[in-house]
Chain A
């Protein structure tokens, strides 16, 4: 699992690469901690290289979303592959995230 975060004036972009499985979720949550303090900026999660996600991964994404919503900012998922899209659909997450 590889995560990089770039912050601009307008938004925070987090690039997720690899597999966000149960084992990787704890570490990913730590690395994505900066997003919990988005200061009203929109969050873009670039999922172009994200190959796999488990329910623990989804939990990480959900906690980011909840925090962002509480300060009035948006969370957008970018380039989600079909495997992950299926998982989002099965769990109903497809209706609470925004996609690009």
Chain B
């Protein structure tokens, strides 16, 4: 969890760092872009104003051309004072920008017309031309500054713009001197040019709604500008204040402007004005967009990193988890296999193959007191839950069977424990058998388990076992114990449903038929190996299943009653100490046949002697004669002594052991006998049968 938290913090840190860096880069970029934008706008502004200036110059030039080109016509008409009118009409009709034309003659040029004579033609809005003579006492053109200037200089000139007429039209006049042959100025021809269109033309294609262009005279008087509808008067005034130097440009950073002058008369200035905010607004917008996009990209990136690392972490955790579970299952498999017997005497063989790593089957066996105890169990279900319960069941069997001989009692004790806290309602089928290896007496009890096969005399039959309930069903279940005596060489075959219910790909079962097929090969002779039998059945089941996966745990256990080289000796003594001499001889003879190690033989002899002396001394009342029957059995691996008497019921195994650490003075005399029996033999067990005390002592001699 710690690493996860750190990882999360570091991921957030990376994203925050990236955002900060992006912001820094963005600010630097923004400043650069502003500069670039200003330069770009400036460059464009310069181009725009020079284009405007060219346009105006051209327009003025057209008027000038009109003047020059028609001058021959004008001069021709000078011969007669009234013939100038048609010429004036033609002159102003020729150029759409020209709205009026006049000829201001030098005073007294036409004596018939008086001192002042100024024929005039004007064009109204409908392009209708009217003519008149406008000089008179109210209009002495010789007083006009412009007239004087042209007379003085003898060169054409443009007037400053002026407002004229009822329509308050803004006009400028191009004044052109007309010389006679002697080089004297005889008249000045004026063409009035309408300037009102210029403001709209200049502002027709502005990049921003708030930018505008102005046309000013050389002296800074406004000639043309945007309409008031388009740009407020205040904005224009503000710009004019800066242009005319009333307000320094640095004091008014909110506007930026570029200007140029016409290259020749009238040297007007064209000014392009921008609101500085407009220039940068795109950059600002761009920056915001860029920021937004980058933040979006970072968010997506962060999300992807988070997703990726989460997925990767999940994947890693999942694979680690899988590896861990795999490892644990392998360990569990190992533990489960450990619990199973691995070495088998010739009369027992078992095999367990779990369908998965761990299974719910088990088998077990052990030999005690000349009896072989064996069991086969199958937990409902398979896999880990079944395996866990089976481990409990297996341990229970070991613990309970340690002190109990009766299969039914073992089942009952196990059942009580399994039912305690069996909330998951699992159950276990179980079969327990206890075969006396000397007599062939088989005690058995089943808890809902399949009936074992009995292979005897060339036949395979089922053991008549009452089913009973499985373990784990009800805590107070009584299990019926049954008994039979096996003939020499009889084999019992226990199995779980993994054998009968082995399925092939067509979902057919191996079943009884399959088992019989294998058993047939074995039952004809008696001396087959149990290992061969078990492994053949496993192989046949696998072969039958073929490609189909193993459907359930497969467990087989075979037990044979094969006394083989059983040696059995019996003797009956009376309850006298002197009889011990006979006992000693009896034991010596018995061991003589067995070829037992001297020391081991001495130990067993002492163990038996002490147990028998105990019976001789205490089983019967003093002065009453009684018998003590002793039998000695061995299969070559184990020795079993059985002492039977008809005396007082007495269980010597219940006697407390004397303290063997006391010093000589405090040592009680006596009580050592049963201690020696217990310590020298592997096991001592007592039972009261048919009014007799039966004491069994066993010892392995391998």
* Interface, chain A (partner B; CB < 8 A): 19, 21-23, 26, 51-56, 58-59, 62-63, 65-66, 69, 82-83, 86-87, 90-92, 95-96
Cross-interface CB contact of A26 among B577, B659, B672, cutoff 8 Å: B577
Chain A neighbourhood of B602, CB < 8 A: 51-52, 83
Cross-interface CB contact of B664 among A21, A66, A86, cutoff 8 Å: A66
Distance from B318 Cβ to chain A, minimum over Cβ atoms (Å) = 60
B521 in contact (CB, < 8 A):
no
Stretch at the interface among B92-100, B278-286, B332-340, B606-614: B606-614
Chain A neighbourhood of B673, CB < 8 A: 54-55
Cross-interface CB contact of B609 among A21, A26, A86, cutoff 8 Å: A21
Chain A neighbourhood of B368, CB < 8 A: none
Whether B667 pairs with A62 at a CB distance below 8 angstroms is yes
Whether A62 pairs with B664 at a CB distance below 8 angstroms is yes
Whether B676 pairs with A92 at a CB distance below 8 angstroms is no
Chain B interface extent, by class: 20 to 34
Whether B609 pairs with A91 at a CB distance below 8 angstroms is no
Whether A22 pairs with B665 at a CB distance below 8 angstroms is no
B670 in contact (CB, < 8 A):
yes
Whether B667 pairs with A96 at a CB distance below 8 angstroms is yes
Q: Chain B residue with minimal CB distance to A63?
A: B669
Whether A90 pairs with B680 at a CB distance below 8 angstroms is yes
* Interface, chain B (partner A; CB < 8 A): 577-581, 584, 598-599, 602-603, 605-606, 609-610, 613, 659-665, 667, 669-670, 672-673, 675-676, 679-680
| A56 CA / B610 CA spacing, docked (Å) | 9
Most buried by A among B581, B660, B661, B664: B664
Chain A neighbourhood of B669, CB < 8 A: 59, 62-63
Chain A neighbourhood of B659, CB < 8 A: 92
Whether B599 pairs with A83 at a CB distance below 8 angstroms is yes
Whether B577 pairs with A55 at a CB distance below 8 angstroms is no
| A59 CA / B584 CA spacing, docked (Å) | 19
Whether B610 pairs with A54 at a CB distance below 8 angstroms is yes
Distance from A15 Cβ to chain B, minimum over Cβ atoms (Å) = 20
Chain A neighbourhood of B613, CB < 8 A: 22, 54-56
Chain B neighbourhood of A58, CB < 8 A: 672
Whether B676 pairs with A87 at a CB distance below 8 angstroms is yes
Distance from B290 Cβ to chain A, minimum over Cβ atoms (Å) = 97
By Cβ-Cβ distance, the 9 closest A-B pairs, closest first, are A92-B660, A23-B580, A55-B672, A22-B580, A96-B664, A83-B602, A55-B673, A23-B581, A22-B613
Chain A neighbourhood of B664, CB < 8 A: 62, 65-66, 69, 96
Whether B672 pairs with A91 at a CB distance below 8 angstroms is yes
- Interface CB pairs A-B, < 8 A, 16: A26-B577, A51-B602, A52-B606, A55-B610, A56-B613, A59-B670, A63-B669, A66-B664, A82-B599, A83-B599, A83-B603, A86-B599, A86-B603, A90-B679, A90-B680, A96-B667
Whether B676 pairs with A91 at a CB distance below 8 angstroms is yes
Whether A23 pairs with B578 at a CB distance below 8 angstroms is yes
| A58 CA / B599 CA spacing, docked (Å) | 18
| A62 CA / B603 CA spacing, docked (Å) | 20
Chain B neighbourhood of A22, CB < 8 A: 577, 580, 609, 613
Distance from B314 Cβ to chain A, minimum over Cβ atoms (Å) = 65
Chain B neighbourhood of A82, CB < 8 A: 599
| Further contacts, 19 of them, CB under 8 A, given A22-B580, A55-B673 | A23-B580, A23-B584, A26-B577, A51-B602, A53-B606, A54-B606, A55-B672, A58-B672, A59-B672, A65-B664, A66-B664, A69-B664, A87-B676, A90-B675, A90-B679, A91-B672, A91-B675, A95-B663, A96-B663
Chain A neighbourhood of B581, CB < 8 A: 21, 23
Chain A neighbourhood of B675, CB < 8 A: 90-91
Q: Chain B residue with minimal CB distance to A75?
A: B664
Distance from B677 Cβ to chain A, minimum over Cβ atoms (Å) = 9
| A92 CA / B675 CA spacing, docked (Å) | 11
Q: Chain B residue with minimal CB distance to A82?
A: B599
Chain B neighbourhood of A63, CB < 8 A: 669
| A95 CA / B580 CA spacing, docked (Å) | 29
| A62 CA / B670 CA spacing, docked (Å) | 10
Q: Chain A residue with minimal CB distance to B677?
A: A55
Distance from A95 Cβ to chain B, minimum over Cβ atoms (Å) = 8
Distance from B223 Cβ to chain A, minimum over Cβ atoms (Å) = 139
Distance from A51 Cβ to chain B, minimum over Cβ atoms (Å) = 8
Given contacts A22-B580, A66-B664, A82-B599, contact A87 B606 (CB under 8 A): yes
Most buried by B among A21, A59, A66, A86: A21
Whether A21 pairs with B584 at a CB distance below 8 angstroms is yes
Cross-interface CB contact of B577 among A23, A65, A86, cutoff 8 Å: A23
Chain B neighbourhood of A92, CB < 8 A: 659-662
| A65 CA / B666 CA spacing, docked (Å) | 12
Distance from B12 Cβ to chain A, minimum over Cβ atoms (Å) = 75
Distance from A94 Cβ to chain B, minimum over Cβ atoms (Å) = 9
Distance from B273 Cβ to chain A, minimum over Cβ atoms (Å) = 124
| A29 CA / B418 CA spacing, docked (Å) | 58
Given contacts A52-B605, A83-B599, A83-B603, contact A69 B676 (CB under 8 A): no
Chain A neighbourhood of B661, CB < 8 A: 92, 95
Distance from B521 Cβ to chain A, minimum over Cβ atoms (Å) = 51
| A87 CA / B677 CA spacing, docked (Å) | 11
Q: Chain B residue with minimal CB distance to A51?
A: B602
| A27 CA / B681 CA spacing, docked (Å) | 28
